[in-house]
Amino acid sequence: MRPFTAPQLNPASETGWRRTWFDIIYRHDTPVSRNFDLLLVVAILASVLAVMLDSVASIHLRYARLLYGLEWMFTLLFTVEYALRLLVVRRPLRYALSIWGVIDLLSILPTYLSLLIPGSQSLLVVRVLRILRLFRILKLTRYVEESGVLVQALWRSRRKIFVFIFAVVTIVVIAGALMYAIEGPDNGFDNIPLSMYWAIITVATVGFGDIVPLTTTGRFITSVLVLIGYSIIAVPTGIYTAELIGNLREMDQEARSHDTRGCPGCDLEGHARDAHHCRRCGHRLPVPMA
Amino acid sequence: MRPFTAPQLNPASETGWRRTWFDIIYRHDTPVSRNFDLLLVVAILASVLAVMLDSVASIHLRYARLLYGLEWMFTLLFTVEYALRLLVVRRPLRYALSIWGVIDLLSILPTYLSLLIPGSQSLLVVRVLRILRLFRILKLTRYVEESGVLVQALWRSRRKIFVFIFAVVTIVVIAGALMYAIEGPDNGFDNIPLSMYWAIITVATVGFGDIVPLTTTGRFITSVLVLIGYSIIAVPTGIYTAELIGNLREMDQEARSHDTRGCPGCDLEGHARDAHHCRRCGHRLPVPMA
Amino acid sequence: MRPFTAPQLNPASETGWRRTWFDIIYRHDTPVSRNFDLLLVVAILASVLAVMLDSVASIHLRYARLLYGLEWMFTLLFTVEYALRLLVVRRPLRYALSIWGVIDLLSILPTYLSLLIPGSQSLLVVRVLRILRLFRILKLTRYVEESGVLVQALWRSRRKIFVFIFAVVTIVVIAGALMYAIEGPDNGFDNIPLSMYWAIITVATVGFGDIVPLTTTGRFITSVLVLIGYSIIAVPTGIYTAELIGNLREMDQEARSHDTRGCPGCDLEGHARDAHHCRRCGHRLPVPMA
Amino acid sequence: MRPFTAPQLNPASETGWRRTWFDIIYRHDTPVSRNFDLLLVVAILASVLAVMLDSVASIHLRYARLLYGLEWMFTLLFTVEYALRLLVVRRPLRYALSIWGVIDLLSILPTYLSLLIPGSQSLLVVRVLRILRLFRILKLTRYVEESGVLVQALWRSRRKIFVFIFAVVTIVVIAGALMYAIEGPDNGFDNIPLSMYWAIITVATVGFGDIVPLTTTGRFITSVLVLIGYSIIAVPTGIYTAELIGNLREMDQEARSHDTRGCPGCDLEGHARDAHHCRRCGHRLPVPMA
């Protein structure tokens, strides 16, 4: 996971309108750019809401024209924003091919496509992905530290979680094949992939109930599967909690060892709070500050 | 979340019946006021029970008159209590507009309204909100410390939980839009808001089963959604547990580090609270501060 | 929760058959009594299995006579055991009225009752409660320590769990009343108690799907309820985990502070491992043992 | 759980083709053997995929011949591999009777059996168990440490988890018998084993909804059962998390207490590993041991 590299200004013009718009669009720390961010968030949420409402039959019947107008308005707005982003950034192609650039493009394309191929409008739902942009903006608010801790803990436990997911998938494959062999198409377990879908729904304790075991053996295996699922749900929680607490303890120890005295003799830092002498050269240390 | 400020006595009369009733109603530490609290709790529970039972058709058929009588009795009782609360408190309007005052009013209003607009009685269910008052009374019992720890940990992890809820909502919006596009109205995913409702029910592993995916792609996406839900349920648990344990450790360290005396003979710190002599050199220690 | 007091021998005869049978039945540490325990466990499991199998229509049709015979055999066996328990114990009435005595009686009574009132045999399912006796026997094996830790942690967090259950019940009452008002009997929410049942099933993420919201408002409230349920499932886990870890840390500290030196001057114990002098009188301490 | 003992070379030939193939098949640290492992994983996944696809009716109709060919190809491949494994290993019978040997045999047998008994091919689903072999190969990659920690924590909490499962089963037996007595065959609770299946599905919060309580008493008991299930899900999570954190702390303390030097000047212990001088008196410390 390569850390996201901030976009850089198109060097063509260090000053001028490009500089102005680059600061507005890509920076998030000036009043103007913050207002732009706010406007963008409102526009994204409003356009997503419009797509949502348009999908409701009764609303579509009455407000189809209004919503159609809004769709074009948002599309044009986002098109202008997309064009600006490409114009002012240093490496337009790189931005266009980045995940954010692709989402931006996909969120305007369906409306234009619908002129050529009627019905492709329904692809507009892709626009909801733009909501992810909110996360990038949020990253710059006070929530940055909190989400940082959460994501860091997730990232540090990624291998353990991968092992866990692998174990769950193995259980699902075996349980799916077993249930297909036992229950079979007569009881709704039409094929192994469908049985595996059922096993995932069951082991994760969702249990839709559209497919259920009807034989005694099938029910017994389901019981075992459910108890396994019930027990191993502890595993990701345990992994994640241990990681979060580990983080906490580290911060704790860092805070405790917040002794900033440098040795007058050898410049060594990081002494224990109760140390009177440097642990390397034995030189007397200054009295620590409260 | 402004900490709740205890109501104050109407200054009109420092003594007299107002003083007496203020002490009975708003204080919770005298025998009389405790009896009042107990009576109030019983009355609230009984009135809620009456509303509940009245909603059962078979009971309504046989005991409609009795329950109607009880309803008026409780309404009058709570009206008197409401009037008293306003009369004896220092700033009646402030109380009336506080959340508790509004609930108190809403819990008596429907009965009076039903004289004008028949059928508005069904709004009486609002009365169950008065049950929340139990919490305030409980706050003054031995459970205060326990619930304090729980709420404090929740409050301290509010930002992390907000980030988590935001992530879940984003997943739900995207999954809802995707499933609407894939399954569509033919398979019960009538519109995006309904699909989002389904996604919430699914990701939280409830799984009613009234709406289920029927296409292979839909089932695959559902499987992924369910596995995500199954994995991230670890996050709030991890957050909360880490916070609770952090609380515990803090209390622990506070208790341990409560002795700040240094030995006059050898400067050693960290003595037990009941120590009279240094554990290293045996020098007499100063008397610990309270 | 009064700690269980071990039954004592009937003082009538310190020796003789009473002594023998008391040791066999109530002690669990001699070869003979262990064999008796094993036999009892097998008999309980077999009788429970017989009750289970008899409830299956196809098995009942073919083996009704055999299972009827087994039922009487187990009943007579448990009757003899019950009589012996009463005869050899010091205070028979106290045993008879203890929870174990009542279960023992209830597990034999239905068979006798079925002679007078046909059909009361179905009450035999009570016999499964005897399975709880297994726990008492297990308590004396190597699992004692493990289950002790688990139960102790549960017991120490009982107040916190009570506060949690109280909060859940309040949410359920309010959600139930709301859903009854919104969805109403037309959509299957027949009355408030039924709505509360639905709310419990939903908030605990079971979601049978026999009752589901059909209105938009109802679905919105359900979504909120589900997200609340999804979030607060963290609370009991957090409580319990923190308690278990607290236990662990305590054991840890106890082990670490395992300094058994008494002060030669004043007999004070519980010194820090690195103490050279008594913290009360300053007397020099002996060198600690490895 | 006897730690897995690595297979040893057939001593008949320390050199020659046996040595070569032993290294290829049973070692996992040479380039050739790693390629063999990779090939094996691909073959296993492909054969499992073929079995899965063959179970889908529409695919079976069109590609039955191709999939039949693939099945024989994989069967012959795995037969050759199985033969090689037996030939080069030191104790072939021991390998054949080990869990891996049995799975290997079961994964090829059904195809041959289908020549004698038509239809036994459906047993081929057993082949998916070969997927477990992936775990052994994974054990030698960087995931070894991670999964080691997870499994170790599970293993150390096995007694606690057993006690927990035993408690759940007891609850399930009692709830199943109760619900059978209350709801009975008329409401779908046909017999006690079926009721127990329902109780497991319910207490684990799966809730298929094919069997649901219809009486008021039954619903009340279900609510209690669900709340119990909701509360005790905390137990395995608590156990596992505490164990994982315990592991973490141990590693921590081991790392910290790794310096056993006492100061020759003042006897102070607990120096940092890189300390050359006592942090209290500045006396030169002895060189730390490796």
For residue D233, what is the domain's CATH number? 1.10.287.70
DSSP D48-116: HHHHHHHTSHHHHHHHHHHHHHHHHHHHHHHHHHHHHHHHHBS-HHHHHHSHHHHHHHHTTHHHHHHHH
Higher pLDDT, D17 or C121: D17
Do D134 and D155 reside in the same domain of the chain? no
Any bridge partners for residue C9, and if so which?
A: C89
Residue B211 and residue B205 in contact, taking contact as beta carbons nearer than 8 Å: no
Cα–Cα distance for residue pair C203/C213, rounded to 1 Å: 14
pLDDT at D122: 60
A183-207 per-position pLDDT tens digit: 988 999 998 899 999 999 999 888 8
Which residues 6+ apart lie within 8 Å of A274 measured at CB?
Answer: B269, D279, D280
Contacts of D113 (CB under 8 A, 6+ apart): D120, D123
The per-residue pLDDT for range D225-268, each reduced to its tens digit, is 998 887 777 777 777 787 777 766 665 555 555 456 677 777 67
**Is the CB of residue A75 less than 8 Å from the CB of residue A82?**
no
Query: By three-state DSSP, how is residue D118 classified?
Result: coil
Local confidence band at D52 (pLDDT 50, 70, 90 cut-offs): confident
**Across all residues in chain A, what is the average pLDDT?**
78
The model's confidence at residue D202, banded by pLDDT at 50, 70 and 90, is very high
Higher pLDDT: D268 or C18? It is C18
Across chain C, mean pLDDT equals 78
CA distance A56 to chain D (A): 29
Q: Which stretch of A157-166, B71-80, B166-175, C255-264 has the lowest confidence by average pLDDT?
A: C255-264
- Taking alpha carbons only, the member of A279, A265, A270 closest to residue D276 is A279
Q: Which residue did the predictor score with more confidence, C248 or D82? A: D82
Same-domain status, C253 and C154: yes
Distance between CA atoms of residues D205 and A184, nearest Å:
25
Residues A134 and A160 reside in one and the same domain: no
Ranked by mean pLDDT, which of B34-43, C147-156, D270-279 comes out on top?
A: B34-43
**CATH code of residue C75:** 1.20.120.350
Range scoring the smallest mean pLDDT among A18-22, A205-209, B36-40, D9-13: D9-13
What is the C-alpha to C-alpha distance for residues D198 and D213, in angstroms, rounded to an integer? Answer: 10
Flag whether B39 is in a domain: yes
Using the predicted structure, report yes or no on whether residue C152 has a pLDDT greater than 70: yes
Share of chain C above pLDDT 90, in %: 16
Q: For residue C44, which of C144, C146, C124 has the smallest C-alpha distance?
A: C124
Partner-chain residue, chosen from D132, D147, D153, that has the shortest CB–CB distance to A163: D147
Q: Among C32, C66, C61, which Cα is nearest to C49's?
A: C66
| Per-residue confidence (pLDDT) for residue A156, from 0 to 100 | 75
CB neighbours of residue C241 within 10 Å: 34
- The whole-number average pLDDT for the span B154-159 is 76
The whole-number pLDDT of residue A76 equals 92
My answer on whether C115 and C179 are in the same domain is: no
C-alpha dist (Å) from residue A286 to A5, A32, A264, D274, D281: 43, 49, 8, 20, 14
Which tokens go with C160?
């916190």
Assigned domain for B287 exists: no
Distance CA B75, CA B110 (A): 9
Average pLDDT over residues B25-31: 75
- pLDDT digits over C208-233, tens only? 999 999 999 999 999 999 988 877 77
Cβ atoms C263, C271 nearer than 8 A: yes
Same domain for C150 and C107, yes or no, is no
- The encoded tokens of residue A115 equal 């002129």
Minimal CA separation from C118 to chain B, in Å:
31
Stretch among C59-68, C253-262, D264-273, D279-288 having the lowest mean pLDDT: C253-262
Domain membership flag for residue B94 = yes
Q: What residue type is D175 in one-letter code?
A: A
Same domain, C89 and C204: no
Partner-chain contact D237 A233, CB within 8 Å: yes
| Mean per-residue pLDDT over chain D, rounded | 78
User: Which one is predicted more confidently, C154 or C45?
Assistant: C45
List all chains that touch chain D, counting a touch as 3 or more CB pairs closer than 8 Å.
Answer: A, B, C
Q: Determine, yes or no, domain membership for B215.
A: yes
Q: How far apart are CA B184 and CA B186, in angstroms?
A: 5
First vs last Cα of chain A: how many Å apart?
41
pLDDT for A290: 46
Tell me which chain C residues have a C-beta less than 8 angstroms from the C-beta of B244.
Answer: 238-239, 241-242
Helix (H) / strand (E) element for C18: namely helix C17-26
Lowest pLDDT segment from A83-97, A271-285, B59-73, C3-17: C3-17
Tell me whether residue B203 is in a domain. Answer: yes
Residue A7 domain-assigned? no
pLDDT of residue C4: 44
Q: Which of D180, D212, D234 sits opposite C240 (nearest CB)?
A: D234
Using the CB atoms, write b or e for D13-42: b if 16+ within 10 Å. eeeeebeebbbbbbbeeeeebbebbeebbe
Confidence of residue C2 (pLDDT cuts 50, 70, 90): very low
Q: Is the pLDDT of residue A97 over 60?
A: yes
B5 secondary structure, DSSP code = P
Q: Which of B143, B177, B197 is the last residue of a domain?
A: B143
pLDDT band of A3, cuts 50, 70, 90: very low
D158 and D139 co-located in one domain: no
Is the model's pLDDT at B243 over the cut of 70? yes
CA distances (Å), origin A275, targets A255, A288, B279, D240:
16, 9, 18, 39
Is the pLDDT confidence value at D215 over 90? Answer: yes
- CA pair distance D23, D38, nearest whole angstrom: 15
Residue D280 forms part of a structural domain: no
Q: Give the largest CA-CA distance in chain C.
A: 85
Most confident of B17-21, C200-204, C250-254, D107-111: C200-204
Query: What residue has token string 């009750």?
Result: C51
Residue of chain D whose Cα is closest to the Cα of A196: D52
Q: Which residues of C195-225 are buried (b: 16+ CB within 10 A; e: fewer)?
A: bbbbbbbbbbbbbbbbbbbeeeebbbbbbeb
Q: Which residue has the higher pLDDT, D216 or B160?
A: D216
pLDDT, tens only, B249-262:
666 555 555 566 67
- Tens of pLDDT, residues B211-221: 999 999 999 99
Strand partners, A89: A9
Check whether B209 has a pLDDT greater than 80. yes
Angle at the Cα of C128 (from C108 to D223), degrees rounded to 5? 130
**B74 and B153 together in one domain:** no
Testing the interface with C: which of B61, B67, B146, B281 to mutate, by most C Cβ within 10 A?
B146
Which pLDDT score is estimated for A1?
34
At D37, the amino acid letter reads D
pLDDT over 70, % of chain C: 74
- End of a domain among B90, B123, B143? B143
Instruction: Give the whole-angstrom CA distance, residue B170 versus residue A45.
Output: 11
Count of CB atoms situated within 10 Å of the CB of A61: 8
How far is A277 from A132, CA to CA, in rounded Å?
53
* B6 in a structural domain: no
B205 vs D contacts (CB less than 8 Å): 205
When mean pLDDT is compared across A42-56, B82-96, D272-286, the lowest value belongs to D272-286
The residue assigned the tokens 């000036």 is A30
Is the pLDDT higher at C211 or at C160? Answer: C211
Average pLDDT of chain B to the nearest whole number = 78
- Cα–Cα dist B178/A126, whole Å: 8
Q: Do B162 and A143 touch (CB under 8 A)?
A: yes
Tell me how far apart the alpha carbons of residues A136 and A4 are, in angstroms, rounded to a whole number: 10
Looking at residue D140, its pLDDT comes to 46
pLDDT of B82 above 70: yes
Residue in chain B nearest D56 by alpha carbon: B216
Question: Does pLDDT of B71 surpass 80?
Answer: yes
A30-56, pLDDT tens digit by residue? 788 878 888 888 888 888 888 888 888
Q: How far apart are CA B67 and CA B60, in angstroms?
A: 8
* Residue D284, SS3 per DSSP: strand
**ipTM given for this complex:** 0.75
**Can you tell me the distance from the alpha carbon of D226 to that of C231, in angstroms, rounded to the nearest whole number?**
17
Tokens representing B261?
A: 């005396």
**Among partner residues A205, A206, A241, which is closest to C241 by beta-carbon distance?**
A241
Least confident of B86-90, B201-205, C130-134, D45-49: C130-134
Structural domain total, chain C: 2
The pLDDT value recorded for residue C197 is: 94
Phi, psi of C286 (to 5 degrees): -65, 160
Considering CB atoms only, which of C56, C197, C248 is closest to D219? C197
* Residue C269: per-residue pLDDT: 66
Range of the domain at A160: 146-257
Interchain CB contacts (distance < 8 Å): B and C: 170
- The rounded distance, in Å, linking the Cα atoms of D137 and D44 is 13
Residues with Cβ within 8 Å of D247's Cβ and at least 6 positions away in sequence, in order, are D149, D152, D153
Question: Do D21 and D120 belong to one domain?
Answer: yes
Query: What does the DSSP 8-state code read for residue D6?
Result: P
In 3D, which of B149, A146, B61, B266 has the Cα closest to residue C243? B149
Chain A contact probe: residue of B162, B163, B165, B212 with most A CBs at under 10 A: B163
B142: its two tokens: 């031995």
Contact B234 A248 (CB under 8 A): no
pLDDT at B1: 33
Residues A160, A214, single domain; the answer is yes
Q: Which of A220, A54, A26 is nearest to A125 (CA)?
A: A54
Are C133 and C151 contained in the same domain?
no
Of residues B102 and D139, more confidence is placed in B102
Instruction: Please tell me the least confidently modeled range out of B32-41, B73-82, D197-206, D207-216.
Output: B32-41
Q: Which of B59, B278, B280 to substitute to test the interface with D, most D CBs within 10 Å?
A: B280
The H-assigned helical ranges of chain B are 17-26, 31-54, 57-88, 92-97, 99-106, 109-116, 133-138, 143-156, 158-182, 192-203, 216-232, 234-256
Cβ contact C235–B240 (<8 Å): yes
pTM: 0.79
Domain boundary among the residues C110, C128, C143 is at C143
C158 and C87, same structural domain?
A: no
